[in-house]
Amino acid sequence: MDNRPIGFFDSGLGGLTCIPYLMKELPEEKIIYFGDTARTPYGSKATNTIRNFSMEIADFLVKSDVKMIVIACNTVSATCVDELRERFPEIPIVGIIEPAAKKVAETCQTGSNVGIIGTKVTIAAHAYKDSISKYNNFLNIFESPCPAFVPLIEEGITENEIMDLTIKYYMDGFVNDNELDTVILGCTHYPLIKKNIARIYPGLTVIDPSSIVVSRIHHLLEDNDMLAVDSDFTNLFYASDLSENFLNMIEHIFEEEEEDKKVKFLNFDLEGEVK
């Protein structure tokens, strides 16, 4: 048993899409979440910048005594999961890409046309493609960056015409020209537009890594005897800039459990000190 919280982080509110799945599958687990809303988006930044930001945040989570870190960000997972594991060898670090890639490799039929959408950094790193081909070389993999999705989602522009047009702009040719049967949402912000994608492309199977990562967390905690039991820790959500949308998302996640969370503002200065 280990009642310490699990640390989650993302460039912004996208990683929050993992939390309802966690609460459903592992209701005893508590959370410290950090959304780097002041510096989002990460997906078009240099890899060194993403690495430095991620080290700062992981350092903060380790100092906050989390029992595990979940990189609820594909861009960070694609950039520096190995470096994070090297720097913090004492703590299990779960990236979001590998569990979803394994599941796709195991469940998609031979010859399937699988599309991956994500940030520029995730797609340029071929993170899903490489990970899937470790398990299965008989799928046709296609990749496409969709860089305007994250800024629109951070602004709360989701269920409307602007988002639908943006989806069509990036995805019409990608889905139709490659005759895709499956698409992986390779960015944790994208589950927030999953309904739009499913409506616009009704024949497409949509894979959501934010749900799949929770099974990996479950297995790791179970195998290492680290599941929480009756923890009295209060879930904590930090943002480097407390945007209205971040607050709305948290309200939405906890709508029936008003008391069970605290939201805090926490910033890093350029030297990496916590203010």
Residues contributing to the site for ligand DGL (CB under 6 A): 10-12, 14, 40-43, 73-75, 119, 122, 150, 187-189
Written as six digits, the tokens of 270 are: 């350029």
The CA–CA distances, whole Å, from 155 to 13, 41, 59, 82, 121 equal 10, 12, 28, 31, 21
Q: Nearest residue to ligand DGL, using CB?
A: 43
Instruction: Clarify whether 108 is annotated catalytic.
Output: no
Q: Taking the complex as a whole, how short is the minimal distance between the CB of residue 40 and ligand DGL, in angstroms?
A: 5
Catalytic residue among 80, 108, 146, 187: 187
Q: Taking the complex as a whole, how short is the minimal distance between the CB of residue 73 and ligand DGL, in angstroms?
A: 4
Instruction: Clarify whether 80 is annotated catalytic.
Output: no
Give yes or no for a contact between 127 and 78, defined as CB atoms under 8 angstroms apart. yes
Q: Taking the complex as a whole, how short is the minimal distance between the CB of residue 125 and ligand DGL, in angstroms?
A: 11
Q: Compare residues 7 and 41 and give the one whose CB is closer to ligand DGL.
A: 41
Give yes or no for a contact between 15 and 33, defined as CB atoms under 8 angstroms apart. yes
Q: Compare residues 114 and 226 and give the one whose CB is closer to ligand DGL.
A: 114
Q: Compare residues 43 and 115 and give the one whose CB is closer to ligand DGL.
A: 43
122-148 in b/e form (b: 16+ CB < 10 A) is bbebebbbebbeeebeebebbbbbbbe
Q: Taking the complex as a whole, how short is the minimal distance between the CB of residue 43 and ligand DGL, in angstroms?
A: 3
- What proportions of the chain, in percent to the nearest 5, are helix, strand and coil? 45, 20, 35
Beta-strand relationship, 6-10 and 31-35: parallel
How many angstroms separate the CA atoms of 84 and 54, rounded?
8
Q: Compare residues 119 and 228 and give the one whose CB is closer to ligand DGL.
A: 119
Written as six digits, the tokens of 97 are: 């890409």
DSSP string, 184-238: EEESTTGGGGHHHHHHHSTT-EEE-HHHHHHHHHHHHHHHTT----S--PPEEEE
Distance of CA 115 to the CA centre of its chain: 18
Q: Compare residues 42 and 226 and give the one whose CB is closer to ligand DGL.
A: 42
Q: Taking the complex as a whole, how short is the minimal distance between the CB of residue 58 and ligand DGL, in angstroms?
A: 15
Catalytic center residues: 73, 187
